[in-house]
Structure 1
Amino acid sequence: MMAQRGQTKGEARQRPSLEEIEAAEAQIVEETRKIGYNTVEYTIEYLADKLRSDDFYIPEYQREDVWEEDRKHRFIESLLMGLPIPFLFFWENIDDGRLEIVDGSQRIRTIREFLDGNLRLGDLETLNRISGFDFNDLKESRQRKLKNRTIRGVVLDEEADDQARAELFDRINTGSKSANPAEIRRGALPGPFTELITELADSPTFKILTPMSQMQENSRTREELVSRFFALSGDLDGYRDRVADYLFEYAKRMRDELVENPEIADAMRGEFHRTMDFINHSTPYGFRKNDRATATPKTRYEAIAIGTKQALERMPDLQVEEEKFKELIESDRFGAIVRSDGANARARLTQRIGYIRDGLLESVS
């Protein structure tokens, strides 16, 4: 008897049926996005000039300079050596004709910085004789050759919608450090919801509760955490294991809702501050694992933040002694829940949120 599909590796499996193959093909056709584009080739000098003049512009969600100095130096070394450079991606702004840099802002920014004489190369692995050089230290003929070097790019059609651009950006950055979902949503979905997320992520109490590295701050990790707070506490029924897609759809829906009903933002703001103030006064070290930790694990954050919010909804006058809260979040049971496999699975998410919610309510019963 032939084994069923989905059995363990090494075992025979049943080939998909004709109906399953047709259904898979139909899904591919349905999900395929046809985006118009054309290929271009720009010189290094042209890219720097267009960025200076703002004809090529960096969208708000990519404003932060997230490349370390060593990465900039290595990129310039690659340019000088004539090594292949990944495609740049642009989108033609339908309103003013300028090109938005969808992918490649860090590369173009580094190019401009070097040509302007504002980047001095560090210790290079291969071209070690130019370590410590800036652009003006290079031989004049080498300066010309570098400025005339070209990089290929793709310009997306102006008709590409928000979701198509965001999805493309997400896919071409898979495995890289260029942009994360929070940055993508910020650029693709401007408006009152994004403004609210940005405001709350910058609140003093929240910053105290969520320690993180400078790189995480520049990558807008706190905005990601605030988005998760609202989405997971307000639309858990619509949750899917693909968190980025789920949050994008939620943010898009809330953008439209806050445009029609601006007063909702005040209620959301109040819920957020109330929850964070409660956590700040009731826990010894916020969302950290202990008093020595300098990071904010997402699974731990989700459990404590959303579990607390749900407990306060059920018992608005809830008060918990710090020792009891500490005992709850330092328990072996809680540690096992937040470390378990399948962190994004809905069952796991519901379990860790419920553990904190029920634990807080039981502590005063």
Structure 2
Amino acid sequence: MRPPKQHAAKTKDDIASAEAQIVELSKRIEFYLTEYSIELLAAKVKNGEFVVPPYQRSFTWEDDRKSRFIESVLLGLPIPFLFFWEMPNGKLEIVDGSQRLRTIAEFVHDDFRLGELESLTKLSSFTFAELPESRKRKINNRSIRGIVLNEHADEQARFDLFERINTGSKIANHAEVRRGALAGDFMSLIIELAVDPRLKTLAPVSTKDEKERGREDLVTRLFAYGDGLQGYKDRPAEFLFGYVKGMNERVAADPNLIQEYRRQFDQVMSFVERVFPYGFRKTQTAKATPRARFEAIAIGTRLALNDDPTLHNAQNIDVQRWLDSDEFKRVTGSDGANAVARLRERIGFVQQRLLGN
């Protein structure tokens, strides 16, 4: 068994810095509690009073899950809180709960027919319209609680909330949320480059990562970390979200940037394909690409090519000797991989080796 890692005692400055960070980030979360009846929730969904963010629209429950949820409502079981953001126009954006709300509206207004129920077996195959009036009223009168973030909660605060609520679920990961929430020309470029045949060959990913847009995340990191880590606070999701949002705005003002970033991507892929025996993989037959290894090679290569353009045509570059070294294995290890110091260390390692330092 590996001995427990030793940590230095926290200094007064460490404690003060941690406390300041808590205060800073908690200021973004201001909210109030609310409670809506089923009848009102269904009506608001039908009338478009709730706004479903793009990153949630493609995630729909199958009929069995809808039926199970309605059964829970009928049984009077506790329903998880709904989370909203109060938009400047007064409408409520659904931060979490869109499937529950859409299922409620579908059942109450659209004649959704229940499937086979586990407990209320005699209600299997019923629609709302087929229930007696007394039961309809009881269902409509049932209430569900909600939490409403006020309009000052920024995109990052809503993104954080959605991600934390859905940790470990099948709903949406960081790359999927960025794709939906940050529509723009730069995001479109990331989506385009993520399916580049060279990247697919050089950076294989698991079936799960493929479905969860893992290569979009890799392309985003190539650009974001390669452009500099100013403002990075050991929280990759927040940094990448802010980067893509800012780049969408920059590209809107200067469309020529798209060609420049596409050119840099092409240069990195061509160089890695020519120089690195296994691309971003550990071995020739590897079926997945460690993220820290990709960051080291891809971003280190990008920065080295920017520093010395003659590398594009350089011959006989021997990278295998240091790819196999204990030092490279250490800097691309998983321990503290998201810490900014470790990130700079692994990127700088490859950059300096390619530059001959």
2:92 to 94, 99, 124: 99
Q: Partners of 2:323 and 2:127 in 1: how far apart? A: 57
| Residue 352 of structure 1 pairs with residue 352 of structure 2 | no
**Is the 1:212–1:296 Cα contact (8 Å) retained in structure 2?**
yes
Q: Residue type of the partner of 2:240?
A: L
1:334 to 328, 332, 356: 328
Q: Gapped runs of 5+ residues in structure 2?
A: 1-6
| Residue 307 of structure 1 pairs with residue 300 of structure 2 | yes
Partner of 1:41: 36
Greater shift, 45-54 or 152-161, is seen at 45-54
**Is the 1:57–1:98 Cα contact (8 Å) retained in structure 2?**
yes
Give runs of aligned pairs for residues 197-216 of structure 1, distance below 5 A. Answer: 197-213=190-206, 215-216=208-209
Deviations 1:114-159 (A, max 9, x none): 786889869x9x64969xx666599846995767654322333344
1:263 to 252, 256, 269: 256
Partner of 1:60: 54
SS in 2 for 1:272: helix
Deviations 1:59-78 (A, max 9, x none): 12233328789877765664
Greater shift, 299-308 or 46-55, is seen at 46-55
1:89 to 74, 83, 103: 83
- Inter-CA distance 233–154: structure 2 relative to 1 (3 Å threshold): same
**CA-CA distance at 1:53 after TM superposition:** 5.8
**CA-CA distance at 1:228 after TM superposition:** 1.1
**Is the 1:91–1:100 Cα contact (8 Å) retained in structure 2?**
yes
**CA-CA distance at 1:55 after TM superposition:** 4.0
Give runs of aligned pairs for residues 143-222 of structure 1, distance below 5 A. Answer: 144=136, 149-173=142-166, 178-186=171-179, 189-213=182-206, 215-222=208-215
**CA-CA distance at 1:235 after TM superposition:** 0.8
- Inter-CA distance 50–290: structure 2 relative to 1 (3 Å threshold): farther
- Inter-CA distance 54–278: structure 2 relative to 1 (3 Å threshold): farther
CA RMSD of aligned residues (A): 4.5
Deviations 1:169-197 (A, max 9, x none): 44544565544333444455443433333
Partner of 2:272: 279
- Inter-CA distance 213–78: structure 2 relative to 1 (3 Å threshold): farther
SS in 1 for 2:332: helix
- Inter-CA distance 85–350: structure 2 relative to 1 (3 Å threshold): same
Q: Partners of 1:328 and 1:68 in 2: how far apart? A: 50
SS in 2 for 1:90: strand
Q: Residue type of the partner of 2:235?
A: R
**Is the 2:34–2:146 Cα contact (8 Å) retained in structure 1?**
yes
SS in 1 for 2:79: coil
**TM-score calculated relative to the size of structure 1:** 0.71
Q: Gapped runs of 5+ residues in structure 1?
A: 1-5
| Residue 253 of structure 1 pairs with residue 209 of structure 2 | no
**Count of residue pairs brought into register by the alignment:** 344
**TM-score calculated relative to the size of structure 2:** 0.72
Partner of 1:3: none
**CA-CA distance at 1:206 after TM superposition:** 3.1
Q: Residue type of the partner of 1:307?
A: G
Give runs of aligned pairs for residues 2-151 of structure 1, distance below 5 A. Answer: 30-31=24-25, 32-33=27-28, 35=30, 37=32, 39-43=34-38, 47=41, 51=45, 54-65=48-59, 75=69, 78-79=72-73, 81-95=75-89, 97-109=90-102, 127=119, 140=131, 144=136, 149-151=142-144
Q: Partners of 2:35 and 2:287 in 1: how far apart? A: 45
Percent identity reads 48
**CA-CA distance at 1:342 after TM superposition:** 1.0
**Is the 2:175–2:213 Cα contact (8 Å) retained in structure 1?**
yes
1:294 to 277, 280, 287: 287
2:219 to 206, 222, 226: 226
**Is the 2:112–2:128 Cα contact (8 Å) retained in structure 1?**
no
Q: Partners of 1:183 and 1:351 in 2: how far apart? A: 28
Q: Partners of 1:25 and 1:348 in 2: how far apart? A: 24
- Inter-CA distance 339–70: structure 2 relative to 1 (3 Å threshold): farther
Q: Partners of 1:292 and 1:63 in 2: how far apart? A: 37
SS in 1 for 2:272: helix
- Inter-CA distance 359–26: structure 2 relative to 1 (3 Å threshold): closer
- Inter-CA distance 24–306: structure 2 relative to 1 (3 Å threshold): closer
- Inter-CA distance 53–225: structure 2 relative to 1 (3 Å threshold): farther
